[in-house]
Homo-oligomer: A and B are copies of this chain.
Amino acid sequence: MKNIVVVGLGEMGASLAKILNKEPKNQVIGVDINEKSLSYAKDHGIVFGAASNLVNVASHADVIILATPVTYIEEMIRSLSQLSLKKEVIVTDTGSTKRDIMDVAEAVLTPKNIHFVGGHAMAGTHRSGVEWANEKLYQDVPYFLIPSSISNARRLQEILEPIAAKFMPISVKKHDELMAVISDIPHIMSFALMNTATNQLGDSTTFGQYVAGGFKDMTRIAESDPKLWTDVLLSNKEAILTSQSLIIEQLQLFSQAIEDNDASTLMTLISSAQESRKNLLLK
């Protein structure tokens, strides 16, 4: 019998709990600060047991999954390092950025021989809350594992196997670079476009009537939550700053070509973008 503790019963954590709790070999204990979420989860069979505090249940756990918002994960890792845990326990998380979390885990868990594997699934919707627990949420979704050791990653992968994700070991550097390019920078560009348009043209209600599909697409994610994105952007600082410089350089190539009336350079730049975009969704 595996004793699995899931901390944070939001959409991501509750979905994990629900799938894993269905396995006869598992017993999932949910931890959340919200009492309503806990009783909902118990009532709906999402968890076997519930606790309002990790400290009370950590010592029996074979696996501890930290699925809270990213800003609380480091704090929980620190508190885990103060507890006496099972010798073979694996601690993992679901945070979307990894460097800071891996650094803290290495600093406080590794010296105590507590095994930590960073995790990040490219899953999740705009919904939040335990009532969105979804058994298909992770199906065929890339799920990155940042292993402290290969054997720990394999053990975790075996336990998580019922969620049917596509597990992929990756280095923390590669992971954070990838997230910067495919998620963080697009958000910054979308925010920047919306702000610049407003600065140049005035209130968006006045120019909104003119915009076509392109502008709407490019600014859709500018409606994302400010607090969440402030946290995300600050937690992936190094990789974002590198990619931002590269984006600005690329924009300057366009400006220079336009300034020089250099049709041939523009054709090359646009053609390579077009080609890459065409290939993006081929696989």
Contacts and interface: CB of A to CB of B under 8 A. Distances in A.
Given A274-B223, A279-B203, A182 B241 contact: no
A51 interface: no
A269 interface: yes
A270 B191 contact: yes
Nearest to A263: B230
A27 to B, nearest CB: 33
8 contacts: A182-B212, A182-B215, A192-B254, A200-B243, A203-B279, A222-B273, A225-B274, A237-B261
Given A230-B267, A237-B259, A280-B219, A189 B199 contact: no
Contact of A210 (B142, B204, B220, B254): B142
Size class of A's contact patch?
35 or more
A211 interface: yes
A40 interface: no
Contacts of A246: 196, 199-200
Interface in A193-215: 193-201, 203-205, 207-215
A196 B247 contact: yes
Residue among A205, A271, A272, A273 having the largest count of chain B Cβ atoms under 10 Å: A273
A276 interface: yes
A91 interface: no
Contacts of A203: 276, 279
B191 A186 contact: no
A248 interface: yes
Contacts of A200: 177, 181, 243, 246
A258 interface: yes
A224 interface: yes
